[in-house]
Amino acid sequence: MSTQEAGTTAFSKKQMLASTLFTPKHKDVLDVILQDDNRYTLDEAEQLLKLFLNEEVI
């Protein structure tokens, strides 16, 4: 899922967690759902975050 499209920048998990674009709560979730060895665009990270937060709790 970490494929880069032309003109987009991908970031490591560490860079995402250091970003000021996410709240502390969202950073906690990203820490769990992002893989250490992958790179993600901001759109990918936001999409994964949204999917995780909207999952039904059993």
**Domain extents in the chain:** 11-53
- The percentage of the chain sitting over the pLDDT mark of 90, rounded to a whole number, equals 79
Q: CA 2: distance to chain centroid? A: 10
Confidence at residue 42, expressed as pLDDT on a 0 to 100 scale? 95
Is the pLDDT confidence value at 7 over 80? Answer: no
Number of residues in the chain: 58
Class of residue 48 by CB neighbours under 10 A (exposed 0-12, middle 13-18, buried 19+): middle
Query: pTM for the complete prediction?
Result: 0.81
